[in-house]
Amino acid sequence: MEEMEEELKCPVCGSFYREPIILPCSHNLCQACARNILVQTPESESPQSRRASGSAVSDYDYLDLDKMSLYSEADSGYGSYGGFASAPTTPCQKSPNGVRVFPPAMPPPATHLSPALAPVPRNSCITCPQCHRSLILDDRGLRGFPKNRVLEGVIDRYQQSKAAALKCQLCEKAPKEATVMCEQCDVFYCDPCRLRCHPPRGPLAKHRLVPPAQGRVSRRLSPRKVSTCTDHELENHSMYCVQCKMPVCYQCLEEGKHSSHEVKALGAMWKLHKVVRDQISHCTVKLRQTTGLMEYCLEVIKENDPSGFLQISDALIRRVHLTEDQWGKGTLTPRMTTDFDLSLDNSPLLQSIHQLDFVQMKVAWFAFDPGSAHSDIIFSNDNLTVTCSSYDDRVVLGKTGFSKGVHYWELTVDRYDNHPDPAFGVARIDVMKDVMLGKDDKAWAMYVDNNRSWFMHNNSHTNRTEGGITKGATIGVLLDLNRKTLTFFINDEQQGPIAFENVEGLFFPAVSLNRNVQVTLHTGLPVPDFYSSRASIA
């Protein structure tokens, strides 16, 4: 329920809605706040004068206003209704929740009537402070907008539940209002229960007591946990292994497999990934807003007033669709795909990368990637050995992608039962994970059984070649991005001709298998000698 609170607050005053009305754009305003932001327009802009002149007027009349003058995006905090010749330039203010609003050009006349009944000036205009759409009011004024009774009911229930949550948790009968909350005990106390159950002496004297409202917030915010090493549970992560792309501890560097790898300070890598953090922060804010809207919708569904529910149901549906579209139009779109891209903002590093001779990079170490694999894939041996829990083929990728150079790796068959046909090769990061490798246009593979093999890309099977695999067999994959070719080997012998040519882009090592197969990955291998000599002759 906490996430819903922003949905229940007026964008003008920042407080819970009081007598909310529904604008044609589906947003809400307190009735008093709506009156406060009315602006009087020239007579020539009124609906009556337009009808008299024969021009069409809709129920929701969008004024032809200059957007830059109506709503300033500048940090100066000023804007004006530039479309009205008679309206003076009016300073723009910010409401408590950050939405810019415009105060009235003229103070409302004194009246003994309530805000709901007091007349509004002729030819008044109201601009929604959230979507900035403008509407010229008709003769009914603010009475022409429906009241949102459902929203009032949701606010009442929310405030009641919030007040109930701040009662003492130890009172046996008729809980009293809590006066403090102990962060260590995670309990709300009234004064008598605190003196009786939480004396300010002994071991409890060091506990921190905070006001109930602050305690509510601290309950929601979990403390930041210190990340510890999976291999050495007593050690905290202190460095980042560039080669394995993972945080490591001091003991890993002293005696573990990262001792010979390139490492960097954890804090420096954290700053390098600032763009990712910014996107996560953006998504978190959007998720909190969406969660609030969902909770509000669930509360509306509980409403037992049919007319009130039907009054706002269409508006809620439009808001939900709009939120869904916003998520689909970029909120979750990655702003970069690989750690390599993250380093492109670092000009010295970029210059060094451009100066590298990729032809000489003959070896690379990597493991399988659990993060991008199908959920049926089973990992062991530090993610170097994989099998599957399903009888269907599932895909797993390597952690490292290649876009330049010559790369060679091997896979040994640890288990081979019932003559399955695993596939080996390379793939794009977005390859389908629930079909055999090579079924879509994102993978280039060789699939092989105990007698023969085929090459496959985009579900096209070519070059049937005799010779299969058994338990203990070794499959070699040679990706030559200098020549743009992909070649396969079985037990150190080339299997068929060059499998694929004109391969360009970023490729990840890939395997597809089912539960009848288990393979182990071997990396850091030099290119086979016979291929090196052949390449030098060519």
Q: Render 378-415 in DSSP notation, one character per residue.
A: EEETTTTEEEESSSS-EEEEBS--BSSSEEEEEEEEEE
User: What pLDDT is recorded for position 163?
Assistant: 61
Q: Does the pLDDT of residue 341 top 60, yes or no?
A: no
Q: At 377, which amino acid appears?
A: I
pLDDT digits (tens, 9 = 90+) for 419-464: 999 999 999 999 999 999 999 999 999 999 999 999 999 999 999 9
- Model confidence at 103: pLDDT above 80: no
Q: Any idea which of 137-151, 233-247, 476-490 has the lowest mean pLDDT?
A: 233-247
Using DSSP's 3-state secondary structure scheme, residue 491 falls into coil
What's the pLDDT at 449?
A: 94
Distances (CA, A) of 61 to 87, 125, 460: 18, 10, 58
Mean pLDDT of 463-490: 94
- DSSP assignments along 261-308, one per residue: S-EEEHHHHHHHTHHHHHHHHHHHHHHHHHHHHHHHHHHHHT---HHH
**What b-and-e string marks burial along 363-386, b requiring 16 or more CB atoms within 10 Å of the CB?**
ebebbbbeebbbebbbbeeebbbb
| Whether residue 61 has pLDDT greater than 60 | no
> Which three-class secondary structure state does DSSP give residue 47?
helix
- Rounded CA-CA distance 377/393 in Å is 10
Mean pLDDT score, 75-97: 37
Percent of the chain with pLDDT over 90: 29
Q: How confident is the model at residue 378 (pLDDT cuts 50, 70, 90)?
A: very high
Q: Are 43 and 49 in contact (CB under 8 A)?
A: yes
Q: How long a stretch of residues is the chain?
A: 538
Cβ–Cβ under 8 Å, residues 6 and 295: no
Is 500 in contact with 444 (CB distance < 8 Å)?
Answer: yes
For the record, the structure tokens of 105 come out as 């050009």
pLDDT mean over 239-250 = 81
Structure-token match 């003058």, residue found: 69
Instruction: Tell me which residue of 381, 391, 372, 370 sits closest to 520, measured CA to CA.
Output: 381
Region 480-497: what's the mean pLDDT? 93
- Span 276-286, pLDDT tens digits: 666 676 777 77
Amino acid found at 33: C
Q: 0.85 cut: is pTM over it?
A: no
DSSP letter at 528 equals: P
Query: What pLDDT sits at residue 415?
Result: 94
Mean pLDDT of 191-203: 85
Distant-in-sequence, close-in-space partners of 493: CB < 8 Å, separation ≥ 6: 467
d(CA 181, CA 220): 14
The answer to whether 77 and 91 are in contact (CB under 8 A) is yes
pLDDT at 290: 76
Write the pLDDT tens digit of every residue in 7-40: 889 999 989 999 999 888 888 999 999 988 888 6
Q: With 60 as the cut, is the pLDDT of residue 147 above it? A: yes
Mean pLDDT of the chain, nearest integer? 75
Q: Which residues pair with 480 in a beta bridge?
A: 406, 485
Q: How far apart are CA 135 and CA 142, in angstroms?
A: 11
Residue type present at position 48: Q
In contact, 409 and 447? CB cutoff 8 Å: no
Which one-letter amino acid corresponds to residue 208?
A: R
Taking the CA atoms of residue 192, residue 198, residue 202 and residue 206 in that order, the dihedral angle to the nearest 10 degrees is -120
- Greater confidence (187 vs 443) lies with 443
Band of residue 274 on the pLDDT scale cut at 50, 70, 90:
low
Who wins on pLDDT, 76 or 431? 431
Say what the pLDDT of residue 456 is.
Answer: 96
pLDDT for residue 250 is more than 90: no
Give the pLDDT of residue 251: 79
Nearest-angstrom CA–CA distance, 359 and 407? 10
Query: Could you write out the DSSP letters of every residue in 2-18?
Result: GGGGGGGB-TTT-SBPS
Phi/psi region, residue 181 (left: phi>0; alpha: psi -120 to 50; beta: rest), is beta
Which neighbouring-strand residues pair with 29?
21
What is the identity of the amino acid at 327? W
Burial 194-225, CB ≥16 within 10 A → b, else e: beeebeeeeeeeeeebeebeebbeeeeeeeee
Q: In the structure encoding, which two tokens stand for residue 116, read together?
A: 């709901």
447 phi and psi angles, rounded to 5 deg? -110, 145
Determine the residue type at 104. P
- Nearest to 495, CA basis, from 445, 536, 427: 445
Q: What is the mean pLDDT of residues 92-114?
A: 47
Amino acid at residue number 172: E
Residues 6+ apart with CB under 8 A from 174: none
Please give the pLDDT value at position 329. Answer: 56
**Tokens representing residue 506 in the block:** 């970023």
3-state secondary structure 347-376: HHHHHHHHHCCHHHCCCCCCCECCCCCCCC
* Structure-token pair, residue 500: 């694929």
- Least confident interval from 39-48, 203-212, 337-346, 528-537: 337-346
Are 39 and 121 a contacting pair, CB within 8 Å? Answer: no
What pLDDT score was predicted for residue 2?
A: 60
Question: Which of 15-19, 59-63, 133-137, 276-280 bottoms out in mean pLDDT, i.e. has the lowest?
Answer: 59-63
User: Helix or strand or coil: residue 535?
Assistant: helix
- How far is Cα of residue 240 from the mean position of the Cα atoms in its chain? 24
For residue 28, the surrounding DSSP H or E stretch is strand 28-30
Quick check: 84 pLDDT over 70? no
Q: Give the pLDDT mean for 313-328.
A: 72
Beta bridge partners of 423: 447, 512
pLDDT-based confidence at residue 236 (cuts at 50, 70, 90): confident
